[in-house]
Amino acid sequence: MQFSRLRLTGFKSFVDPTDLMISTGLTGVVGPNGCGKSNLLEALRWVMGETRAKAMRGGGMEDVIFAGAASRPARNYAEVSLVIDNQDRVAPAGFNDSDTLEVTRRITRDVGSAYKVNSKDTRARDVQMLFADAATGATSPALVRQGQIAELINAKPQNRRKVLEDAAGIGGLYQRRHEAELK
Ligand code: ATP
Ligand code: MG
């Protein structure tokens, strides 16, 4: 799954709309402490359906909304959109009728999160599955947080297995089976 553009609006320190173009190969993000490098990675995880505020270094999910600065008032919403090149049709059924997919998540104060795929309202779960099936996603081992390696070393075997399942792209399958068993 090739990501081609990440756009942030009112997300953490990125108050004005900011585009990050992602080409094939390695992309490096460099800059001084506190300039927002980690926020970029968090935006990527967030648009893929992250539900844990702690993984976003916040107390609550609304903490991702620009909180204001001396010269700028706080925002009422945060939005992140991710453009995916889907020419190879790796997306699951239902998302495969176009060459590009634009996944958008917006959180509004006191309202919560809403997702869209190519401007169409989409359930959080379907967005999470879209990425889980492509072996990426909010919990994907492709995104390594600070402290995550130590966590992995100390993890229980079941939790370590979950990391391997996510890496293999079968996390979505297990989740569907679990839901089917509950029905
Ligand atoms: P380092 O090199 O130290 O890891 P970094 O480039 O990864 O730094 P980040 O941690 O991404 O920096 O960015 C931190 C900045 O984001 C801080 O200045 C913090 O105040 C700002 N920030 C985080 N959340 C918000 C928010 N909700 N509203 C406004 N600014 C925010
Ligand atoms: Mg950082």
Ligand 1 centre to CA of 59 (Å) is: 15
Instruction: Return the bridge partners of 6, or none.
Output: 20, 82
Unique residue bearing structure tokens 């953490």: 12
Question: What pLDDT, on the 0 to 100 scale, is given for residue 138?
Answer: 66
List, in order, residues 6 or more apart from 165 with CB less than 8 Å away: 171, 174
Residue nearest atom 11 of ligand 1, based on CA coordinates: 36
pLDDT tens string 106-157: 999 999 999 999 999 999 999 998 888 776 676 776 777 777 888 889 999 9
* Per-residue three-class SS string for 61-118: HHHHECCCECCECCCCEEEEEEEEECCCCCCCCCCCCCCEEEEEEEEECCCEEEEEEC
Q: Structural domains in the chain?
A: 2-182 (3.40.50.300)
Nearest-CA residue for ligand 1 atom 3 is 33
Q: Is 106 in the pocket of ligand 1 (CB under 6 A)?
A: no
Does 68 count as an annotated binding residue? no
- Give the residue whose CA is nearest to atom 20 of ligand 1: 13
Condensed to tens digits (0 to 9), the pLDDT of residues 40-87 reads 999 999 999 999 898 889 999 999 999 999 999 999 999 999 999 999
CA of 104 to the centre of ligand 1 (A): 22
Neighbours of 143 (CB within 10 A): 17
- Among residues 130, 132, 136, 135, the alpha carbon closest in space to that of 104 is found at 130
CA of 100 to the centre of ligand 1 (A): 30
| pLDDT the model gives residue 47 | 97
Report the amino acid identity of residue 147.
Answer: G
The C-alpha atoms of residue 48 and residue 80 are separated, in whole angstroms, by: 10
ipTM surpassing 0.95: yes
Beta bridge partners of 85: 2, 100
Separation CA 181–CA 23 (nearest Å): 41
Task: Kindly report the pTM of this predicted structure.
Answer: 0.85
Residue 132: the pLDDT is 82
Return the closest-CA partner of residue 49 out of 145, 121, 148, 115.
115
Atom of ligand 1 nearest to the CA of 64: 27
Q: Which ligand is nearest to the CA of 40?
A: 1
The protein residue whose alpha carbon is closest to atom 23 in ligand 1 is 12
Of 106, 105, 166, the closest CA to residue 131 belongs to 166
**What's the 36 CA to ligand 2 centre distance in angstroms?**
7
User: pLDDT band at residue 183, thresholds of 50, 70 and 90?
Assistant: confident
User: How buried is 64 (Cβ within 10 angstroms: 0-12 exposed, 13-18 middle, 19+ buried)?
Assistant: buried
Q: Is the CB of 74 under 6 A from ligand 1?
A: no
